């Protein structure tokens, strides 16, 4: 990731369950490790589970400011966003990562900030792709989801991350089998494929690998 130049605002959106939150947290921690002042905002008002706040300890220890709905992880299903999100637009010297909810349903909540983001201009809107998710196994279905998200929030994607994985049985072959589709998605949308995510880089035949640290799990079920 050495060559990648961070924009002031980085947004992660994509299909439900494609791994946006995990990548957003990794992104924020990397920026911070490079010495930048970083805020990360959880804009997901659709899903009460698997939140940015699950990484609260890690983020706060690293010195990343977490902006999270007051009701996140309280098991209260309340679709409210905190006013602190606006601080992102009032502190142009700080880098910001926005973790958007899944699908068009999750992206509607981003719409209220769209005028600020577009006015500022220095942003990257990243589509997180997982070709192993059942409703986005093809390039065509993926593009449909991308267009739905763009219509819902009013911001067009500027780049793609290939996060194709099968959870804990992911191998290099699992990822390699999606490289063609990721390239075709990039060609058909005209958007650069900026990273392919891996946990282990060995045997993965794609340029620009981004090594991920997985979020802490509530509990781990071993397979026997």
Partner 1 sequence: MSDKVLMKGNEAIAEAAIKAGCRHYFGYPITPQTEIAAYMAKRMPKIGGTFLQAESEIAAINMVYGVAGAGYRVMTSSSSPGISLKLEGISYIAGADLPALIVNVQRGGPGLGGIQPSQSDYYQATKGGGHGDYHLIVYAPASVQEMADYTIKAFEVSDKYRVPAMLLADGTMGQMMEPVSLPDVPVVEVDKPWAVRGTGKARPHNIINSLYLNPETLEKTNFERFERYRLIEENECLYEEYMTEDADVIVVAFGIAARISKNAVVEARKRGLKVGMLRPITLWPFPNKPLRKLADTAKGFVSVELSMGQMIDDVRLATECKRPVSLCNRTGGMIPTPEQVLESIEKMLKEVE
Q: Which chain residues interact with partner 1 by CB under 8 A?
A: 16-17, 48-50, 75, 77, 105, 130, 132-135, 137, 165-167, 169, 173-174, 177, 219, 221-222, 224
CB of 137 to partner 1, least distance (A): 7
Q: For partner 1, which is the closer residue by CB, 10 or 26? A: 26
Q: For partner 1, which is the closer residue by CB, 34 or 180? A: 180
Residue from 29, 100, 89, 34 nearest 65 by CA: 29
CB of 220 to partner 1, least distance (A): 9
Contacts of 52 by beta carbon, 8 Å cutoff, 6+ apart: 21, 24, 25, 40, 41, 42, 44, 59, 66, 68, 72, 99
What is d(CA 208, CA 23) in angstroms, rounded to the nearest whole number? 15
Residue ranges of alpha helices (H) inside 5-86 are 20-33, 56-62
How many helices (H) and strands (E) are present in the chain, helices listed first? 8, 8
- Residues composing the chain: 224
CB of 20 to partner 1, least distance (A): 13
What is d(CA 65, CA 36) in angstroms, rounded to the nearest whole number? 12
Q: For partner 1, which is the closer residue by CB, 123 or 132? A: 132
Q: For partner 1, which is the closer residue by CB, 31 or 175? A: 175
CB of 2 to partner 1, least distance (A): 29
Q: For partner 1, which is the closer residue by CB, 39 or 133? A: 133
CB of 105 to partner 1, least distance (A): 8
Q: Are 171 and 206 in contact (CB under 8 A)?
A: no
């Amino acid at each position: 990731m050495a060559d990648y130049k961070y924009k002031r605002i980085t947004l992660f959106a994509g299909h439900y369950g494609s791994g946006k939150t995990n990548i957003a947290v990794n992104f924020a921690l990397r920026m911070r490790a490079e010495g930048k002042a970083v805020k990360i905002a959880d804009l997901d008002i659709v899903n009460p589970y698997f939140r940015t706040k699950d990484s609260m300890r890690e983020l706060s220890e690293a010195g990343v400011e977490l902006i999270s709905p007051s009701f996140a992880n309280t098991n209260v299903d309340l679709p409210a966003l905190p006013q602190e999100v606006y601080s992102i637009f009032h502190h142009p010297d700080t880098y910001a990562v926005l973790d958007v909810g899944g699908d068009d349903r999750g992206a509607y909540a981003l719409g209220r900030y769209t005028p600020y983001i577009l006015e500022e201009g220095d942003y990257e809107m990243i589509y997180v792709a997982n070709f192993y998710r059942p409703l986005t196994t093809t390039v065509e279905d993926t593009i449909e989801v991308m267009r739905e998200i763009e219509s819902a929030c009013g911001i067009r994607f500027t780049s793609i991350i290939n996060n194709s994985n099968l959870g804990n049985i992911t191998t290099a072959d699992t990822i390699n089998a999606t490289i063609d589709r990721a390239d075709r998605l990039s060609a058909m949308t005209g958007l650069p494929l900026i990273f392919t995510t891996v946990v282990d880089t060995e045997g993965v035949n794609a340029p620009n690998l981004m090594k991920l640290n997985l979020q802490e799990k509530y509990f781990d079920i071993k397979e026997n």
